[in-house]
Homo-oligomer: A and B are copies of this chain.
Amino acid sequence: MGNPISARFQSSAAATKIVAPPMVYISGEEMTKYCMEQIMDKWISPRVDTTKWEYYDLSCVSRDTTEDQCLRDAVAAGARVGAIFKEPTVTPTEVQKAKLGLKKAWGSPNGAMRRGWNGITISRDTIHIEGIDLGFKRPVLFERQAVGGEYGAGYKMVGKGKLTTMFYPEDGSEPVTVDERTLTNENSAAVTYDNPLDNVPDLAHHFFSRCLEADVVPYVVTKKTVFKWQEGFWVAMKEVFDAHYKQKYIDAGLLPKGELQHLISDAATMQIIKWTDGGFGMAAHNYDGDMLTDEVSQVHRSPGFISSSLVGKAADGSMIKEFEASHGTVADLWDAHLRGEETSLNPLGLVEALIGAMQHAASLEGGPEAEKIIAFTNNLRKVMHQLMVEGKGTRDLCGPAGLTTEQFIEAVAERI
């Protein structure tokens, strides 16, 4: 038994602190890093034992110092652990590169994360606070294919001549002419990309099970009427839907037209503005998803009220999920803070992401401690919402009488 006092202290600590399951915490910089440090100190650390978490610093100074080894390490850890929280990071411009004395203007880490975690979809959903009207009345769920499209395109600026794209099958069968065209301009961009479809069934299961759970009507959004190669995305989605979900949606009263609906992408830009009652989900290709989720976030007040989660698949078939806020490092508030001015940053998007990551870690581990994590984080969300409804939220929601960044964190800390 050793020292009884020490034992009692340990036992007391164990009784008060919930042991969080393994999770990867990727820290960023500027205002959101400052805010998350406060939240960790005042909300999480006093109540949760986070010693199983792994920390990675993805600030651009850290990426510069380590020659991006920190990114490779964070991606490897995420693939191993399966649950990741990421703070907003800066993708430095040439101006920031000079200011911070970086060797290089390091690009967005998103590509490395999507590849490293076998990214399937980026889920971005509206965040709702009961009693506060933000935009959409009921949830809007979005699934954006995490791969494919012009993000990974190859290109060259070319003049007059012939452009030919050939495909050489791995099995050694006859080469296929994908495209042949004559370019007649003095100056053209020639662009080639691929849109992989193998992960669409996984995306479909993720999307349709989420829409069903959230009680919303699903739509598949493409431009396939004109961009004919997008037919494959629709076909794969519909196959999964018809085989696994159709009857469930009918039973739930979520299939008003009796069949899964397709929506043309440009029509979707209009419906997002019209359908302010919410209660719908959209699944789209990569670029359409980029455009349309930003539009959704504006109708729903701001990106501060949209969640963002990258969903991938580990080699063993389990889901890797990375959670982040939809917004950036909020540089303008950071500048104000550095000037000694008051700030009022709404941490909802950040904390929703942290809650998402902690709950996914809990679902991967299971057991009684995991249950406690889920209860703790649900309560955390409830307390934040309550304070906002009571007018003790940040100023974006509660006006000039609202609390500062620090006051709101303090107020939540007192109540949990």
Interface residues of A (CB under 8 A from B): 108, 148, 150-151, 153-171, 176-181, 183-198, 223, 226-230, 232, 265-267, 269-270, 273-274, 287-288, 290-292, 294-295, 297-299
Interchain nearest-CB distance for A133 vs B (Å): 16
Interchain nearest-CB distance for A63 vs B (Å): 18
Cβ-defined contact, A267 with B294, below 8 A: yes
How far, in angstroms, from A164 to B192 measured CA to CA in the complex? 9
How far, in angstroms, from A198 to B159 measured CA to CA in the complex? 10
Given A198-B186, A273-B295, A297-B270; A160-B170 close (CB under 8 Å) = yes
Q: List 7 A-B contacts (CB under 8 A).
A: A150-B223, A151-B226, A156-B178, A158-B169, A183-B196, A189-B229, A274-B298
Q: Which residues of B contact A273 (CB under 8 A)?
A: 273, 295, 298-299
Cβ-defined contact, A164 with B162, below 8 A: no
Given A154-B179, A155-B179, A294-B266; A192-B190 close (CB under 8 Å) = yes
Cβ-defined contact, A196 with B188, below 8 A: yes
Copies in the complex: 2
Q: Which residues of B contact A159 (CB under 8 A)?
A: 169-170
Interchain nearest-CB distance for A115 vs B (Å): 11
Q: Which residues of B contact A270 (CB under 8 A)?
A: 294-295, 297-298
Cβ-defined contact, A161 with B156, below 8 A: no
How far, in angstroms, from A181 to B147 measured CA to CA in the complex? 15
Q: Which residues of B contact A194 (CB under 8 A)?
A: 163, 181, 183, 188-191
Extra contacts besides A186-B198, A187-B196 (6): CB < 8 Å = A151-B226, A153-B227, A158-B169, A167-B183, A189-B232, A191-B195
Given A178-B158, A267-B294; A195-B189 close (CB under 8 Å) = yes
Interchain nearest-CB distance for A121 vs B (Å): 15
How far, in angstroms, from A287 to B291 measured CA to CA in the complex? 11
How far, in angstroms, from A229 to B158 measured CA to CA in the complex? 11
When the two chains form the complex, which single residue of B155, B267, B269 contacts A269, counting CB atoms closer than 8 Å?
B269
Cβ-defined contact, A167 with B178, below 8 A: no
How far, in angstroms, from A90 to B190 measured CA to CA in the complex? 33
Given A188-B195, A188-B196, A194-B163; A156-B183 close (CB under 8 Å) = no
List the B residue with the shortest CB-CB distance to A160: B170
Please provide the 3 A-B residue pairs with the shortest distance between their CB atoms, ordered closest to farther: A154-B179, A189-B229, A270-B298
How far, in angstroms, from A189 to B288 measured CA to CA in the complex? 16
Cβ-defined contact, A178 with B196, below 8 A: no
Q: Which residues of B contact A170 (CB under 8 A)?
A: 159-162
Q: Which residues of B contact A165 (CB under 8 A)?
A: 154, 163-166, 190, 192
Cβ-defined contact, A180 with B160, below 8 A: no
When the two chains form the complex, which single residue of B161, B168, B179, B269 contacts A298, counting CB atoms closer than 8 Å?
B269
List the B residue with the shortest CB-CB distance to A295: B269
Q: Which residues of B contact A291 (CB under 8 A)?
A: 265-266, 269, 288, 291
Interchain nearest-CB distance for A67 vs B (Å): 23
How far, in angstroms, from A195 to B166 measured CA to CA in the complex? 19
How far, in angstroms, from A367 to B142 measured CA to CA in the complex? 57
Interchain nearest-CB distance for A262 vs B (Å): 13
Q: Which residues of B contact A274 (CB under 8 A)?
A: 298
Q: Which residues of B contact A197 (CB under 8 A)?
A: 185, 187-189
How far, in angstroms, from A250 to B265 measured CA to CA in the complex? 37
Q: Which residues of B contact A189 (CB under 8 A)?
A: 148, 194-195, 197, 229-230, 232
Cβ-defined contact, B295 with A191, below 8 A: no
Q: Which residues of B contact A295 (CB under 8 A)?
A: 269-270, 273, 295
List the B residue with the shortest CB-CB distance to A227: B150
How far, in angstroms, from A148 to B185 measured CA to CA in the complex? 11
Interchain nearest-CB distance for A29 vs B (Å): 19
How far, in angstroms, from A180 to B232 measured CA to CA in the complex? 23
